[in-house]
Structure 1
């Protein structure tokens, strides 16, 4: 006989109680283990350290009894419960707290270490401040040097252009004009002279090259610094061409220059 798939045994099957029984057994086992651990915790003997800490906490949390000798002395001196120490009652009302020392370091070591850390922090902040100031000073100096070189090059270009307009073919000083152009022109002139005097010996040319190298080194060593160059070039432009590099203007005469130009330095034009 075939099973009837519409019967109640298929639609509403009987629940299996075995998983539930298994879960109940695990729950009972867990409760038993928890109870066992609780009993072990209550019954186990406390260590000496734990007992000492409990007694200390109990003593610190307990007020002095009236039959205590120290309390009796305070009362004879006029102390009343709930009031501060002293005649006016402005002193402390509670005993000084106890700070337990857990480490094995000597007395005062914690204070010394704290002071040492504070001094190290102060030194670190000072070093950071000094390094920051040095960095700012270095950056400021670099920017000033860059601006100085820029002003010097502008003055050299202006001097070269104004001298050319007046028919000047050689600068008063070699560095009055842009160095690249001056050296290039001087080299071309020397090459032209060498072509005209092509009959000279090679030994003499070598001696001349050595002398020229020595002269160039001597000229470089004798050259003033950029600040001095800019000062002398500014004086030359104002005296010879009535020109101010910071104004960017050529004036008509000395009176016009003195009245309309703020000064002969970059700071005067800020």
Structure 2
């Protein structure tokens, strides 16, 4: 099935937002680290568990009751500690907001909510989710999204002056990440990626693996599989065509790679969703 936290894929066409509630027991594997980015902005209410939120050059601790925000196209990930974990994830289209009414925060944010504010955010999240599930008109969902963004903007307040982390400037990788986002079907070699980031291949490989927790080629393959999973779940495009479009050389190889990551074949994934 789709990985539940921070998928590096866009919203399905026409959607203003999506809401997902996730709960994992202490004996379940931790979500794998995967620094990534996507067009939607992302809001996460941590309801159980603790860890660190990595976003661009920010490193922010979180625990139960923390509200986290990643702007659109920001490179980010969530690093949970051992123990039970629960969160509500919202990914939304910033362009759906009326700029005369509200604008989302410009950078990553974190706020430890008191009980009244936590209840208020929880009610707004549930209200937004019910509207999406009821398939209300896009405009109606956008109004409810604006109410949520207004509330979180009040919660976060002004941006902190120093959110620096030891991730040594994720922005150095922006050229290749933008390329992967715009042209997911084109495979970059290690040498091409290093050249776009003005680094030698060896230095690029070391920096990328240290920052992202995986090699560049593996990251690129996983990103394409995540994109394929979302296309399969939200369209009727033939599965073989999805694989070819994203650069897999044959349907059999695509199915093998897909099952290796998600535990199900592309056809099973479409039936489950």
Shorter-chain TM band: under 0.3
Write 1 or 2 for the structure with the bigger share of strand. 2
TM-score norm. by structure 1 comes to 0.21
Looking at both structures, which has the greater relative contact order when contacts are Cα pairs under 8 Å and sequence separation is at least 6?
Answer: 2
Give the structure with the larger helix fraction: 1
How high is the TM-score relative to the length of structure 2?
0.20
Question: Highest Rg: 1 or 2?
Answer: 1
